Chain A
């Protein structure tokens, strides 16, 4: 049995320690917001937070998550009101949407560590998340928008 905490909830998983975390999240826990894109850590669609760090769950073993805190896209906020989610909605960022949970999870780490990112910072943080539909311009704009919302929210 491997115990992991996902979105604040403890789960005892009957899983092989070598199972990719992505499988545990999707197939055992039924949290399907996190996507399988490549299985090789090359697209970022599987990005979740492990103790606050953006890890690629397709190559992260469930054993690495044992006793740790995982946050998936479903847990990014209680009411879809994270500044990034609000910005994403305002600017209609997604097209097909498949990459977007990974995009948001990576952007969330950026905004937490750098509340006012430059375009270079966005390049540095987000280049590992690829989008076949090419929504990159809207992703960039939405990150800037989210930074404004976050800053405004902090001032209230």
Chain B
């Protein structure tokens, strides 16, 4: 009799333990959402930083009013300038030479229907920014073209001119990672808390 009672208690205890291991769908969702993670967030951003500071991105996000050209990001020839709306000035407007698509051939003008710099009132400078400065700038709607975090992701993922970077025409190097990988890192950076790197990070 005692053995039966003892066995019953053991079986009941084991059942309770087994039942406690079950994870229902609510628990599964909680486990899937990344917790805030400053280290992981910054690590993801540093991958984003490398892309945004590569010539295919940075050349059209210059610190001055002159776009940049080439793998060495020298000043665009012919004295072209941003202008008020980012589309150039007078007979040197961007679309005067830059066509809706890349002109074939090395050193021929690349092209996109939206070819332009950011406007003078919202220059969205990348050139010369430290990782911390760029992260904070990207997150600030007053500096990033009025974008929410979701819109920032959308811009990286879907904007046509951003997408040009991976189809830059003859003789131009691609950014360090493909677009899908960039967007994944942007999502991760934001999902893990959108932390900005430390001031000394390079």
Interface of A with B (CB < 8 Å)? 40-42, 44, 47, 53-56, 59-61, 64, 105-107, 109-110, 113-114, 121, 123-129
A128-B78 Cα distance, complex, nearest whole Å: 5
A54-B97 Cα distance, complex, nearest whole Å: 9
Besides A64-B99, A125-B92, A128-B92, 9 more A-B contacts (Cβ < 8 Å) are A40-B105, A42-B77, A54-B90, A54-B91, A56-B96, A64-B100, A123-B79, A125-B89, A125-B90
Cβ contact within 8 Å between A124 and B92? yes
Chain B positions within 8 Å of A47 at CB level: 91
Cβ contact within 8 Å between A41 and B103? yes
Most buried by B among A61, A105, A127, A129: A127
State the majority secondary structure of interface residues on B.
Answer: loop
Chain B positions within 8 Å of A109 at CB level: 90-91
Interface of B with A (CB < 8 Å)? 77-81, 89-93, 95-97, 99-100, 103, 105, 107-109
Q: Which one, B81, B95, B99, B108, contacts A40 given CB within 8 A? A: B108
State the majority secondary structure of interface residues on A.
Answer: mixed
Chain B positions within 8 Å of A125 at CB level: 89-92
Cβ contact within 8 Å between A127 and B100? no
Cβ contact within 8 Å between A124 and B90? yes
Q: Which one, B79, B99, B103, B107, contacts A128 given CB within 8 A? A: B79
Cβ contact within 8 Å between A41 and B109? yes
Say how far A35's CB is from chain B's closest CB, in angstroms.
16
A132-B56 Cα distance, complex, nearest whole Å: 32
Residue of B nearest to A114 (CB): B90
Chain B positions within 8 Å of A124 at CB level: 79, 81, 89-90, 92
Say how far A122's CB is from chain B's closest CB, in angstroms.
9
26 pairs of residues in contact across A and B, judged by CB atoms under 8 Å: A40-B107, A41-B97, A41-B103, A41-B109, A53-B96, A54-B90, A54-B93, A55-B96, A59-B97, A59-B99, A59-B103, A59-B109, A61-B99, A64-B100, A105-B91, A107-B91, A109-B90, A123-B79, A124-B79, A125-B89, A126-B91, A128-B79, A128-B80, A128-B92, A128-B97, A129-B91
Say how far A26's CB is from chain B's closest CB, in angstroms.
19
Cβ contact within 8 Å between A113 and B90? yes
A59-B103 Cα distance, complex, nearest whole Å: 7
Decide yes or no: A106 and B91 within 8 Å by CB, A59-B103, A124-B81 being known contacts.
yes
Cβ contact within 8 Å between B93 and A53? yes
Decide yes or no: A54 and B78 within 8 Å by CB, A59-B108, A109-B90, A125-B89 being known contacts.
no
Chain B positions within 8 Å of A110 at CB level: 90-91
Residue of A nearest to B88 (CB): A124
Chain B positions within 8 Å of A40 at CB level: 105, 107-109
A126-B105 Cα distance, complex, nearest whole Å: 25
Residue of B nearest to A55 (CB): B96
